[in-house]
Chains A and B, each alone.
Chain A
Amino acid sequence: MAQLLALFLAGLALFFHGVSGIRTHLQGLTSRRLRRQLAAWSRRPLLAGTGGFLFGAVTQSSTAVAFILTSLVSGGLMSVAHALPIVAWANLGTVPLVFFASLNAHLAFLYLLGVAGLALAFDLGPSRLRPALSALFHVGLLFFGLQLMKEAFAPLPSQEGFRDLAAFIQGSALATFVAGALLRVLVQSSSAIAVIAIALAHGGLLSLDQAAMMMFGTGAGVGLSIFLLSSNLRGVPRQIALYQALINGVSGLVLCTLYYVEHYSGAPLVLSLSATLAPSPDSPVRLAYAFLFLQSTAVLAALVGSRPAAVWLARLCPPTDEQDLSRPRFISNEALADPDSALELADKEQVALLAQLPAQLDTLRQDAPAAVPPAVRHRAAQAIALEIQGFLREIVEQSPDAQASARLLALEQRHALVVSLTDTVHDFTAALARLRNPGAASAPLLESLLESLDTLLLTAIDAARLSDPEDLALLLRLTADRGDLMERLRRQLLASETTLDHARKSDLFYATSLFERAVWLLRQLGLAQQALAKPAAVTQT
């Protein structure tokens, strides 16, 4: 038993690690073409349905599909609205296994794990493929974890305790429903339990009714399982996980209710329909039909209730601050068709990213406590920067004309500066947060650095919006060489606190260096802005 528990724990750990790894590495993928294809695929109902079905058939776990899709949504590859139908149809994809009981995806995932793992370990293939390889490796890891969990509980039917349990529940359909739900939590594959239920019925351990109820219990089990496995998810990805839990829970409970209605009223419902479709009482296909009805009900529940469920879930698990802030406001795949519009939107998105920076500094103000921690803001800014970078690369692929190309170059140059500035402002904020001590003699000087940088950022934002050419002139005037001023400031800082230890002196120097770098970057940004205002001049030089 201890070995089984160890197997289960190892499987669970690999499963969680796989989910987290897929999310991390898909976020690192910069191929917006891949993202666009995935997004396009998910936007067509028929393709999304077919894809979901195939995905479910290959993975044999609609829960795993839901978790992979939560990873794609977290990585910004797909919207929730487009992910939900794929999740729903994945449930139906698990049915063929129960009918044919022969598909062994385990081997394929072991190959995937092995090939991707070896390629990563020996650094094989082009480096740009490493994020994709890492994501595939974690897909393999996820399924290896699921397989370990399945193997941990495979010997259960031969265990004495399990046989006692089977004897205890003999004759009770409700008990098998509960057992199906609990097993689903442990085994992570409804189709696997359905196959086990058919085997148990075939072996005479369960009646047909009990076996069917065990399958229906897996619906409720998916709900329980997802509640447990999604405990580390927040916001939008949690919406998808709960949606999967909800439609499966509803289908399990609906079929359980129908079973009792049929049992007590004699009305021909699910079991009668299965008997009609598979007349032979010994035929395992009859139970396979029961499983088909369970999964079809889940899809039906998804089709009927997806809109109200989406509203309810959005209210229950609103996007986190990071997810909200990570969403680009202007750029979109559709805009790529027209390079001029795409450039306009990329420009606006860059300015919006720049306009987020003063909020980093606001977190240092004592009179306005930070609603969003600086680290969260920074991660969100990095995510948007990555989106803009990918978007600009895609504009290059649209073969822009000479004028658009010049503007694109200027935007690329400005983007690199905005990204550096984002990192520098974040580091400066963190350094000042460490150094802050209102009573210290250096406090007024540090305050002046804070107010200065904030003012310069606000001026740079005005300049980037190009509403008034004077703003740009002002930015360039204010960011003119500050070498002497910074040297004087450093001397003042050190003179103001003579009792400082070396570590704090070093921190003070670091903060002033970051400030100096930020000012330099703002000046370069101003110069890049000039180039952006006159793209034709760039092509001539």
Chain B
Amino acid sequence: MQITPSTRGSRTVLTLAGKLDNAGSEQLRAELLPRLSAGPASVALDCSALDYVTSSGFRVLLQAEKEQRKHGGRLLLAGLTPALRNLSQNAGLHTGLHRVPDLDSALAAES
């Protein structure tokens, strides 16, 4: 899996591409968790090029969301493909994640 960091305003945006499986989850955890303590709205994930998410991937996302909540914010999960949206919806995991359809508009709304 590819993870490309960039900065948009106060947020670090991690663009994810490929499959978020066991190996990808470890990679994402290492990139993501240290950045969450930076503030209440520190990280957003651009998932538009993400193909699939396994349980270990969902777990990292849920843990990251949990950490972000502790700092008073929410982890933005943007651009999920229809297939991934369905997957998280069917899995009933959408209630634990803050999904937004479009990153630009979500960031614009924040500012």
- A residues neighboring B (CB under 8 Å): 358, 361, 367, 444-445, 447-455, 458-459, 468, 470-471, 474, 477-478, 480, 482, 485, 489, 492, 519
* CB-based contact A489/B59 at 8 Å: no
Q: A470-B69, A477-B96, A478-B96 are in contact. Are A451 and B91 (CB under 8 A)?
A: yes
Of A358, A445, A478, A489, most buried by chain B (CB within 10 Å of CB) is: A478
Cα distance A450–B66 in the bound complex, in angstroms: 22
Q: Name the 3 nearest CB pairs between A and B, nearest first.
A: A452-B91, A454-B55, A448-B90
* CB-based contact A449/B66 at 8 Å: no
* CB-based contact B95/A448 at 8 Å: no
Q: From A471, which residue of chain B is reached at the shortest CB distance?
A: B66
Cα distance A459–B60 in the bound complex, in angstroms: 10
Is B86 an interface residue, CB under 8 A from the partner?
Answer: yes
* CB-based contact A459/B69 at 8 Å: no
* CB-based contact A458/B66 at 8 Å: no
In the complex, chain A residues whose CB is within 8 Å of the CB of B90: 445, 448-449, 452, 485, 489, 492
How many A-B contacts are there with CB distance less than 8 Å? 62
Q: From B87, which residue of chain A is reached at the shortest CB distance?
A: A448
Cα distance A480–B83 in the bound complex, in angstroms: 23
* CB-based contact A455/B95 at 8 Å: no
* CB-based contact A485/B66 at 8 Å: no
Q: From B59, which residue of chain A is reached at the shortest CB distance?
A: A458
Shortest CB distance B85–A (Å): 11
Question: In chain B between 56 and 111, which residues have their CB closer than 8 angstroms to a CB of chain A?
Answer: 56, 58-59, 62, 66, 69-70, 83, 86-87, 90-93, 95-96
* CB-based contact B54/A451 at 8 Å: yes
In the complex, chain B residues whose CB is within 8 Å of the CB of A485: 90, 92
Q: List 20 A-B contacts (CB under 8 A).
A: A358-B55, A444-B87, A448-B86, A448-B87, A449-B90, A450-B55, A451-B53, A451-B54, A451-B58, A452-B55, A452-B91, A459-B62, A470-B69, A471-B66, A474-B96, A478-B92, A478-B93, A478-B96, A480-B95, A519-B92
In the complex, chain B residues whose CB is within 8 Å of the CB of A454: 54-55
Cα distance A447–B19 in the bound complex, in angstroms: 14
In the complex, chain A residues whose CB is within 8 Å of the CB of B66: 468, 470-471, 474
User: B91: which of A455, A477, A480 is its contact (CB, 8 Å)?
Assistant: A455
User: B92: which of A452, A470, A474 is its contact (CB, 8 Å)?
Assistant: A452
* CB-based contact A455/B58 at 8 Å: yes
Cα distance A447–B21 in the bound complex, in angstroms: 13
In the complex, chain B residues whose CB is within 8 Å of the CB of A358: 55
Cα distance A482–B94 in the bound complex, in angstroms: 12
In the complex, chain A residues whose CB is within 8 Å of the CB of B21: 367
In the complex, chain A residues whose CB is within 8 Å of the CB of B53: 451
Q: From B83, which residue of chain A is reached at the shortest CB distance?
A: A444
Shortest CB distance A121–B (Å): 51
Cα distance A74–B82 in the bound complex, in angstroms: 52
Shortest CB distance B51–A (Å): 13
* CB-based contact B95/A452 at 8 Å: no
Cα distance A470–B93 in the bound complex, in angstroms: 16
Q: A455-B58, A459-B59 are in contact. Are A478 and B95 (CB under 8 A)?
A: yes
Q: From A485, which residue of chain B is reached at the shortest CB distance?
A: B92
Cα distance A474–B83 in the bound complex, in angstroms: 24
In the complex, chain B residues whose CB is within 8 Å of the CB of A458: 55-56, 59
Cα distance A447–B88 in the bound complex, in angstroms: 11
